[in-house]
Amino acid sequence: MAGTKRQKSSSIAKNSSRGRSSRGSTSGSKRYTPPVPASYKKSGRAMAITLFALLGAGFIVIFVDYLGVLPGGAANWYLLLGIALLAGGFYAATKYR
Protein backbone atom coordinates (compact mmCIF):
# COMPACT_ATOMS: atom_id res chain seq x y z
CA MET A 1 0.00 0.00 0.00
CA ALA A 2 2.88 2.38 0.69
CA GLY A 3 4.14 1.79 -2.86
CA THR A 4 0.85 3.00 -4.37
CA LYS A 5 0.97 6.27 -2.46
CA ARG A 6 4.48 6.89 -3.68
CA GLN A 7 3.47 6.23 -7.27
CA LYS A 8 0.57 8.68 -7.05
CA SER A 9 2.66 11.42 -5.51
CA SER A 10 5.42 10.94 -8.07
CA SER A 11 2.92 11.12 -10.96
CA ILE A 12 1.51 14.36 -9.57
CA ALA A 13 5.02 15.76 -9.27
CA LYS A 14 5.73 14.79 -12.90
CA ASN A 15 2.56 16.53 -14.12
CA SER A 16 3.25 19.70 -12.16
CA SER A 17 6.84 19.81 -13.35
CA ARG A 18 5.60 19.85 -16.96
CA GLY A 19 3.34 22.84 -16.29
CA ARG A 20 0.14 20.84 -16.26
CA SER A 21 -2.29 20.73 -13.42
CA SER A 22 -3.70 17.52 -12.06
CA ARG A 23 -7.23 18.74 -12.89
CA GLY A 24 -6.67 18.90 -16.61
CA SER A 25 -5.79 21.37 -19.29
CA THR A 26 -6.59 25.05 -18.86
CA SER A 27 -6.31 25.96 -22.54
CA GLY A 28 -9.07 28.18 -23.90
CA SER A 29 -11.26 27.63 -26.89
CA LYS A 30 -9.81 27.41 -30.37
CA ARG A 31 -11.83 30.40 -31.63
CA TYR A 32 -9.91 33.45 -32.79
CA THR A 33 -10.23 36.53 -30.61
CA PRO A 34 -8.88 39.66 -32.27
CA PRO A 35 -6.64 41.89 -30.14
CA VAL A 36 -8.10 45.07 -28.70
CA PRO A 37 -6.84 48.13 -30.57
CA ALA A 38 -4.48 50.38 -28.61
CA SER A 39 -6.81 53.36 -29.07
CA TYR A 40 -9.44 51.66 -26.90
CA LYS A 41 -6.99 51.01 -24.07
CA LYS A 42 -5.82 54.58 -23.43
CA SER A 43 -7.63 57.02 -21.19
CA GLY A 44 -7.71 60.67 -22.08
CA ARG A 45 -6.05 63.46 -20.17
CA ALA A 46 -9.44 64.45 -18.72
CA MET A 47 -9.65 61.10 -16.92
CA ALA A 48 -6.39 61.73 -15.06
CA ILE A 49 -7.45 65.28 -14.20
CA THR A 50 -10.83 64.03 -12.93
CA LEU A 51 -9.15 61.29 -10.89
CA PHE A 52 -6.78 63.64 -9.08
CA ALA A 53 -9.41 66.37 -8.73
CA LEU A 54 -11.82 63.99 -6.98
CA LEU A 55 -9.12 62.61 -4.69
CA GLY A 56 -7.79 66.07 -3.88
CA ALA A 57 -11.24 67.58 -3.30
CA GLY A 58 -12.20 64.69 -1.02
CA PHE A 59 -9.04 65.09 1.01
CA ILE A 60 -9.49 68.87 1.27
CA VAL A 61 -13.15 68.60 2.34
CA ILE A 62 -12.30 66.08 5.06
CA PHE A 63 -9.32 68.13 6.25
CA VAL A 64 -11.25 71.42 6.35
CA ASP A 65 -14.13 69.67 8.12
CA TYR A 66 -11.64 68.43 10.70
CA LEU A 67 -10.47 72.00 11.26
CA GLY A 68 -14.08 73.16 11.67
CA VAL A 69 -13.71 76.03 9.19
CA LEU A 70 -16.73 75.12 7.04
CA PRO A 71 -20.08 76.84 7.72
CA GLY A 72 -22.05 74.96 10.33
CA GLY A 73 -18.94 73.67 12.08
CA ALA A 74 -17.77 70.09 11.90
CA ALA A 75 -20.75 68.22 10.50
CA ASN A 76 -21.16 64.65 9.35
CA TRP A 77 -22.46 65.83 5.95
CA TYR A 78 -19.08 67.28 5.07
CA LEU A 79 -17.38 64.08 6.11
CA LEU A 80 -19.77 62.04 3.96
CA LEU A 81 -19.20 64.41 1.04
CA GLY A 82 -15.43 64.00 1.40
CA ILE A 83 -15.71 60.21 1.55
CA ALA A 84 -17.98 60.22 -1.52
CA LEU A 85 -15.44 62.32 -3.41
CA LEU A 86 -12.64 59.98 -2.39
CA ALA A 87 -14.72 56.97 -3.46
CA GLY A 88 -15.33 58.64 -6.82
CA GLY A 89 -11.60 59.19 -7.18
CA PHE A 90 -10.86 55.54 -6.42
CA TYR A 91 -13.52 54.47 -8.91
CA ALA A 92 -11.94 56.70 -11.57
CA ALA A 93 -8.56 55.19 -10.72
CA THR A 94 -9.86 51.70 -11.48
CA LYS A 95 -11.06 52.86 -14.91
CA TYR A 96 -7.83 54.66 -15.82
CA ARG A 97 -5.73 52.93 -18.47
- Compare 83 and 42 and report the one with higher pLDDT: 83
Report the predicted TM-score, pTM, of the whole model to 2 decimal places: 0.57
Kindly tell me the number of DSSP H helices and DSSP E strands found in the chain: 4, 0
Confidence at residue 83, expressed as pLDDT on a 0 to 100 scale: 96
pLDDT at position 45 over 70: yes
pLDDT at position 69 over 80: yes
**What is the C-alpha to C-alpha distance for residues 97 and 89, in angstroms, rounded to an integer?**
14
Among the listed ranges 5-19, 29-43, 61-75, which one has the minimum average pLDDT value?
Answer: 5-19
pLDDT band with cut points at 50, 70 and 90 for residue 12: low
